[in-house]
Copies of this chain bind each other. A is one copy, B any other.
Amino acid sequence: MQATRTPDPARRNPDSTKAILEAALALARDEGWSKVSIEGIAARAGVGKRTIYRWWPSKGAVVLDAYVSRLQEAPYMSPEAAATDDLRADLVRVLNDTWNMVSDSLPLLAALIGEAQHDPDLAARLWERLIAPSSEPVQARIRLAQDRGEIAPDADPFRAAELIYGQIYLRLLVTPKALDEGFLEDCVDLSLRGLRVRP
C-alpha cells in the first residue's frame, strides 16, 4: 500500500502546483466534495488536465495534498525546542494548532477519510502524508514526558497517540456531538489519567 505511483514531486512547477492545490481546496470547500473534479480543478487553476494527472492519480490525492500543504503551515511544537514544563498544556497546544488549521474544513477531512474507504491508494497517502505525521508531535511529547518520569515507562507513545486521537476521529466521523476546543482538552485529560505515573 505504498503511494509510489507519481514521479518525483520535486520536479513539479512550484507555481502551478500552488495554483492547483489552492484551486482544489477552494472548490472542495465552496462546492462540496461530490462536486470536485479534475476538470474543475484544472479550470480554476488555469492549467491543463494532463498537468494534474501527471502528478496526482485522483481528485482525492489532489485535495489531500492541498490539505497537507496547509497543515505544514501549522506551528507544530518541536518537543526539543518548545516543550514547556506543562505536559497537558503542550499536548493541548499541539491539538489546538492542528485544530486551527482544519476546523473550517472538517467536512472535507471527513470526506477524504470516507473516500479512502473505497480507494486503497488514497488510504495509503492519507496515512503517510497526513494522519501519521500529524500525530508525531504528540508521540514526541509523550516520549519526552517519559524521559522526565511523568509518563509511565510501559506506555507505548504510539498507542498513547491512538488513545487521544481515536476519541477525536470517532467524533469527526461517527458521533453527532460537539467537536470543539473544549472536547480536545477533555480528550487530553481523559487520556493522561491513565498514562501519568501514579504518585
Contacts and interface: CB of A to CB of B under 8 A. Distances in A.
Copies of this chain in the oligomer: 2
Interface residues of A, number: 39
Q: Which of A110, A126, A194 counts the most chain B CB atoms within 10 A?
A: A194
Contact of A113 (B34, B117, B165): B117
Interface of A: 1, 33-34, 107, 110-111, 113-118, 123-124, 126-127, 131, 159, 162-163, 165-171, 173-176, 186, 190-195, 198
A145 to B, nearest CB: 15
A127 B162 CA distance: 22
Given A166-B167, A191-B163, A174 B114 contact: no
A168 to B, nearest CB: 7
A175 B131 contact: yes
